[in-house]
Amino acid sequence: MSWNKIRPELAEILQDKGFNTMNSFQESILDVMKSGRNILAEGSEGSGKSTAILYTVLEKIKTPGEGSPRAIISCSSNDKAQKIYDALKICTFHLDLTVDLVHDKGNMLKQRNDLFDGTEIIVGTPKRLYELYIQNGYNVGELKIFILDDAIQQFKNGNGIHLKRITESLPKCQFMILTSPFSDKRLEEFIDEIGPFQKIEE
DSSP lists the bridge partners of residue 123 as 73, 101
- How many other C-beta atoms are found inside a 10 Å radius of the C-beta of residue 4? 10
Q: Which residue range forms the structural domain that includes residue 175?
A: 8-201
Q: Is residue 148 part of a domain?
A: yes
Q: Domains in the chain: how many in total? A: 1
DSSP label at 18? T
Q: What is the pLDDT of residues 109-146, one digit of tens each?
A: 999 999 988 999 999 999 999 999 999 889 999 999 99
Burial 102-132 (b: 16+ CB within 10 A, else e): bbeebeeeebbebbeeebbbbbbbbbbbbbb
Q: Is residue 147 part of a domain?
A: yes
Q: What is the pLDDT of residue 128?
A: 97
Q: Is residue 104 part of a domain?
A: yes
Give yes or no for residue 103 having a pLDDT over 70. Answer: yes
Q: What is the pLDDT of residue 155?
A: 95
Q: Is residue 1 part of a domain?
A: no
Which region among 121-125, 157-161, 184-188 has the lowest average model confidence (pLDDT)? 184-188
CA dist 26 and 190 (Å) reads 23
What's 12's domain CATH number?
3.40.50.300
Burial zone of 44 (CB within 10 Å; 0-12 exposed, 13-18 middle, 19+ buried): exposed
Give yes or no for residue 1 having a pLDDT over 80. Answer: no
Q: What is the pLDDT of residues 53-70, one digit of tens each?
A: 999 999 999 888 777 899
Q: Which amino acid makes up residue 167? A: T
Q: What is the pLDDT of residue 2?
A: 67
Q: Is residue 75 part of a domain?
A: yes
Q: What is the pLDDT of residues 3-42, one digit of tens each?
A: 888 999 999 999 898 887 888 999 999 999 999 999 999 9
Rounded to the nearest 10 degrees, how much is the dihedral formed by the CA atoms of 36, 125, 143, 13? -70
Q: Is residue 3 part of a domain?
A: no
Q: Is residue 63 part of a domain?
A: yes
Give yes or no for residue 191 having a pLDDT over 60. Answer: yes
Q: Is residue 141 part of a domain?
A: yes
